[in-house]
Amino acid sequence: MELALPGKFKSYMENIQKKTGKKPADFLNLANERGFIKEGKIMAKHGEMLNWLKTEMGLGHVQANFIILYLRLRNNDPNVSDQARKWAYETGYKEYID
């Protein structure tokens, strides 16, 4: 997954929380409930998760992709690029790990 997000992970997450009223753990729980994640592995296709986040959660395209990145990071998905992983860890992802 290529990532071209300016700014900081923490800022993106804070803006999404303000918009949706949902914390990062809420997105993780909802994705688990929907079967997008099973036993710590992403089971859904990117487009399926993107559609859910945009239509049901009211997120824009970039915000939806950001939440998908968060879900992939939380589940140690090998599809996360080194670039995206580095950006997330350097800009605030660690604050959102339980």
pLDDT per residue over 73-96, tens digit each?
999 999 999 999 999 999 999 888
Residue 7: pLDDT band by 50, 70, 90 thresholds?
confident
- Which pLDDT does position 96 carry in this prediction? 86
> pTM of this prediction?
0.90
Alpha helices in the chain (DSSP H): 9-20, 24-33, 46-55, 61-74, 82-90
The confidence score (pLDDT) of residue 4 equals 52
pLDDT-derived band of residue 30, with 50, 70 and 90 as boundaries?
A: very high
Q: How is residue 48 written in tokens?
A: 């399926």
